[in-house]
Chain A
C-alpha cells in the first residue's frame, strides 16, 4: 500500500486515530462541563489537533515536550492515557497532578512531558533548558516547546528563542497560530503578518506550515528535529490554523466573524486526513468503524474510571511542597 510523506499505512492510521481520540476526548469533556461535572474551565484544541499530533509523531520517545493548553494530541502521542486526562479534569487523586492542579495543567516527566503552567510562554525557556542539558551531556535528544500566537508577545518567548539560537540548542519552538488569543485577534498581537517573522531578528530558521495538514506538520517537524539532532540548532515552526471554539467553554467567541469559521470548517484537519487516506486506499469503511468504536470505548472507560476514582484527601493539602 501507498506511503505518504514517508509514512507506512500503519503509522498513517495511528495518526488518524490520535486525531480522533483527541477530538472525542475533548468533546466528551465539553459534555461533562455542560452537565456541571467538571471543576473549573475547559480548553480544547478543536480544529487544530493536527499541530500537536503531527509534530509529536515526528519525535523520538526520549525527546521532551513542553505542551501548551491545546496540546492534548501531543500528550496522547507521547503516552498519556484518556483515563489520566479525564481524572485530571475531574480533579481526582488518580490524575497526573492528583488534584493539585486542574484541566490542562499536567504533564509526566517519565514520558518526557513537562507539566504545563498557566503563564503563557513560561515553558519555552524551560524547554531550552532541557535542550541545554542534552547538549551538555551530548545526548541525541531534542526538546519541543509549544505555544500560541498570543504567547509570542511575551518576553519569555523572545528570551527563550534568542537563548536557544545563541547557544545552538536542540530545541523546536512550535506555534499554533490560531489567529486569536482569547478575544484578541492577530493584528492586535503583532505588527508583522507572521509569528515566523518574529524569529528573523534572532537568527534561527522559521518555517510556516499549514496547521490543518497533519502530514505537513509531521514532515516539517521531522526535518527540524533532524537538524537539531545534528547540532545545527533550533527551528521555529509556525502552524497556521483557526481556533474553532471559544477560548474556553465559557466563551461563546461571539467576537469571531462567522464566515471565518465557515471557511476554516471546510479545512477540518481530521476530515482532511480521512479523505487523503480513503483516496490512497488506506482507510476502509470497516477500518473507520473499528477505530471509531475503539475510541468510544476508551473514552467511556476513561469517564467511568475518573468518576469512580476518589477525590484527593483534603488532609494532604500541605504535603509535598518540598522534595526530600
Chain B
C-alpha cells in the first residue's frame, strides 16, 4: 500500500462514507465551495451536491444544534468545527443537548463533530488548543483522537457509523506531517480500543494524538541506551480502554503519561488515578506526566517550542523512570 497523509486518510474516510450511506452529509463553515480551511472537503461539493455539503453561517451553536436535529430525524451529520478552539461556542449544545439525549429519553443522536486541534503550527492561543478534556468529562459523548492515517480513516468511519455523538479530534500538525499506509477496502477501527505501538519491558508510555509519534521517537532514542519502552496509543479518549491501560502499566511497573494538552484537569490525571486504583501493586515508580504547562498556547516559535511536550522531554522522563 502506498503511504498517504493523515489528511488524505480523513478525506478518503469521509468520501467513502458519503458514497456508502445517503444519510451522511457535511455541514460547516467554508467546507463546500472552498473545500474547508484545510481543504479536506475539496471536491465534495462537485461530487455530492449542495444538499449534502453545506456551507453554514459562522455559527457553531447552530451547526451543532442543527446536526442534533438532523440526527434525530435519521440523518448522519458530520459537522466541521473550523478549529477545535471554536467548539466552545457550540459547547452547550454538545454537552447539554447531544450528550444527555439518549440517557434522558432513549433516542440515539448519531452525529460526528470533526475538530481540528493541536499546536506546532505557530497559530497562537486561539488556533492551537487541545480541548479534549472538556468532553471526556461529559458522559454520553464518545471522543476519539487518531494518531496515524490508518486510524484517522478507520476511526472516522467508526464514528460516522456509531449511534452516539462522537467528537473526532484530528491533529492539525499530523495533517501533512504524518504519512502511512491504510488498509485496502472498507474497514473501521473500533472505538474504545487502544493500540500498543511498541513493545517494551522497562517503562510504559501512555499517550495519544500527535504525542504518539513523539513518544515513539523518545522510545527509539532511549532504546539505544538499553531502555525498552512500551508505547500505548489510547486512540479513544472516551470511553477509555481501561483494561489496556492497566495491562500496559502492569507490564513494566513504570508509567509515563504524555499529552499535548495542559496538565491540570487533563486526561493524564484520570489515567494516573485509574492505574493507582487498579495496578498499584505492580508499580515500581511514581507515575509521571509529560504535558504542556498550565498556560494558554503561546504564539512565537521559541515560546511554543518551550510549551509543547516533545520527544526530548519524554526521553528524559523515561531515563528517570528507568533509573528509579
Instruction: Name A's B-contacting residues (CB within 8 A).
Output: 64, 66, 96-98, 100-101, 105-109, 114-115, 117-119, 122-137, 143, 155-156, 159-160, 162-163, 166-167, 320-324
Contacts and interface: CB of A to CB of B under 8 A. Distances in A.
A64 B322 CA distance: 61
Interface string B93-121: 10011001111111111100000000000
A53 to B, nearest CB: 23
Contacts of A129: 65-73, 77
Contacts of A66: 69
16 contacts: A100-B103, A100-B105, A119-B97, A122-B96, A125-B66, A125-B68, A126-B93, A128-B66, A129-B72, A130-B69, A130-B70, A132-B70, A156-B61, A160-B65, A163-B56, A323-B108
Q: Top 7 closest A-B pairs, CB basis? A: A125-B65, A129-B69, A129-B66, A323-B108, A133-B73, A163-B62, A323-B163
Contacts of A143: 69
Contacts of A106: 105
B67 to A, nearest CB: 6
B59 interface: yes
B135 interface: no
B69 A122 contact: no
B149 interface: no
Contacts of B100: 117
B205 to A, nearest CB: 29
Interface of B: 25, 27, 51-52, 54, 56-57, 59, 61-75, 77, 92-93, 96-97, 100-110, 139-140, 142, 163-164, 239
Contact of A133 (B57, B59, B69): B69
A126 B102 contact: no
A94 B275 CA distance: 40
Contact of B51 (A100, A130, A136, A322): A136
Contact of A167 (B54, B71, B74, B102): B54
B66 A132 contact: yes
Given A130-B72, A136-B25, A324-B163, A160 B62 contact: yes
A156 B106 contact: no
Given A126-B65, A131-B69, A321-B139, A166 B104 contact: no
Given A130-B73, A322-B142, A122 B104 contact: no
Nearest to A101: B104
Contacts of A101: 104-105
Given A125-B69, A129-B69, A97 B57 contact: no
A134 B73 CA distance: 8
Nearest to A64: B73
Nearest to B105: A115
A194 B231 CA distance: 61
Given A119-B96, A136-B70, A156-B62, 16 more contacts: A97-B105, A108-B105, A114-B69, A119-B97, A122-B65, A125-B61, A125-B69, A126-B65, A126-B72, A129-B72, A129-B77, A133-B69, A136-B52, A163-B56, A163-B63, A166-B56
Contact of B102 (A118, A127, A135, A323): A323
Contacts of A122: 65, 92-93, 96-97
Count chain A CB atoms within 10 A of each CB in B105, B108, B110, B239 and give the residue with the most. Answer: B105
Contacts of A126: 65-66, 68-69, 72, 93, 97
A132 B73 CA distance: 9
A105 B104 contact: yes
B102 A321 contact: yes
A147 B202 CA distance: 60
A137 B73 CA distance: 10
A207 to B, nearest CB: 23
Given A64-B73, A128-B65, A323 B51 contact: no
B66 A323 contact: no
Contact of A115 (B27, B57, B74, B104): B104
Nearest to A127: B69
A136 B75 contact: yes
A136 B51 CA distance: 6
Contacts of A132: 27, 54, 66, 69-70
A154 to B, nearest CB: 9
A130 B166 CA distance: 19
A144 to B, nearest CB: 12
A163 B57 contact: yes
Contacts of A166: 56-57
Contacts of B52: 136
A124 B96 CA distance: 14
Contact of B97 (A98, A123, A323): A123
Given A129-B67, A136-B25, A321-B139, A162 B72 contact: no
Nearest to B64: A125
Nearest to A171: B69
Contact of B61 (A133, A134, A155, A320): A155
A133 B75 contact: yes
Nearest to A106: B105
Nearest to B101: A115
Contacts of B74: 133
Nearest to B106: A320
